[in-house]
Amino acid sequence: MSRDAITSAAEKPRVLVVDDSRLMRKAIHKFIQGEFEATEAEDGEKGWEMLVGDDQIQVVIADVLMPRLDGYALICRIRAADEARIRDVPVIVITGAEDDETRERAFACGANEFITKPIDGARLLECTRVQARLDQTSRKLAHATEALDEQASIDPLTQLNSRRLFVQRGGEEIATAGKRGTELSLVRLDIDNFRAIYGEHGDDSGDRLLLWVANIIIAQTRDGDILARVGGGEFAIITPRAGRLEAAVLCERLRSAINHEPFKHNDISVPVTASLGVVTLGRDPGDTVEELLDLSDQRVTAAGAAGGNRLSVEEMTESADGDTVVVAQPDINTALEMLRHGDTGKLDPYLPELALKVLPLIETCNDKLELEFDLELNSLKEKLLQLK
């Protein structure tokens, strides 16, 4: 094979050499230094730490018998890693043992090559070249796949729109709203503490949680709404023909539905809450989907910083100065106090639920005082239940 080595030291593929013998590490370094940049570790545990901390390592050359963490355990740990870069890194085993059992065990753990001592320098160099090229190809494919995923129309996990399609379809709805003079709002929803839940309970439970929230969003929205997953635990909704009040009511329905009962999967049960942000075309700065998304991101961040499980909106009174107001669900007494202070805008998301709470009192008054508002109260109750 012709040598196509990269001579620039900064561009040389990086190889991690793990061996408890300093002399052996130096010998390996001498064999490959013309084409590779070698970094060294004296045992498997140190080698693992270096691999985790250095995403430029493309090949691992490891001995079998080492203190702290031997070569077998190192390979097994590598192959069990969550991160694809680590899990797929090529491993070349170098050992003085020539028996079939050692060879079979190394390959069973996940070794890519097996070389016995004394080392044939030419063979080691050739194996390292091949494995480095394979790693480079694997990385290119991973990057290409990642790019395709970002450009895909549908989120493969939740089957909601991707961010790209959300921006495209949302732009069309904004244009339509402009032509017809109709309202349009954008809702952002972030799962509170999503990374912590994902990290504690694993990928499978994290994915199930995303599906669980996505299904709640689907159930609480209209057919004409545009739904998307726009980040890890982040969702967005465009609601055509919906102003600030309608969007805020939707947010409260979503918040309440997610918080209603814990997420359950296998043997875990996790309380889940969400932070939400609302922006409305024409009432907030921005006339593109990206601009509205950026502003909604600021508001949902404010809701999360205030403790989560709440909605963040812009102040809706005439005296508003444009500051973000974080709204937590008030009780009846708090709502009455807010009304006395003129903070009516902050109550918008919760008006249907608050009205339903006081409706029994009004119905009792109607009955006891013989006000004869039966039809009107029944109609009011029906409309409130539709909004809730």
Domain boundaries, the chain: 9-149, 160-329, 331-337+347-388
| Weakest mean pLDDT among 173-177, 209-213, 314-318 | 314-318
Distance CA(280)–CA(177), nearest Å, equals 12
Q: How confident is the model at residue 2 (pLDDT cuts 50, 70, 90)?
A: very low
What pLDDT does 344 receive?
Answer: 66
| Weakest mean pLDDT among 38-52, 82-96, 374-388 | 374-388
More confidently predicted of 248 and 343: 248
How much of the chain, in percent, has pLDDT values that exceed 70? 87
Q: What is the pTM of this model?
A: 0.50
Q: What is the CATH number of domain 160-329?
A: 3.30.70.270
What pLDDT does 269 receive?
Answer: 93
Q: How confident is the model at residue 246 (pLDDT cuts 50, 70, 90)?
A: confident
Domain 9-149, classified CATH 3.40.50.2300, yes or no: yes
What pLDDT does 303 receive?
Answer: 86
Residue-wise pLDDT for 117-134, tens only, equals 899 999 999 999 999 988
Q: How confident is the model at residue 9 (pLDDT cuts 50, 70, 90)?
A: very low
Residues 343-357: what's their mean pLDDT? Answer: 71
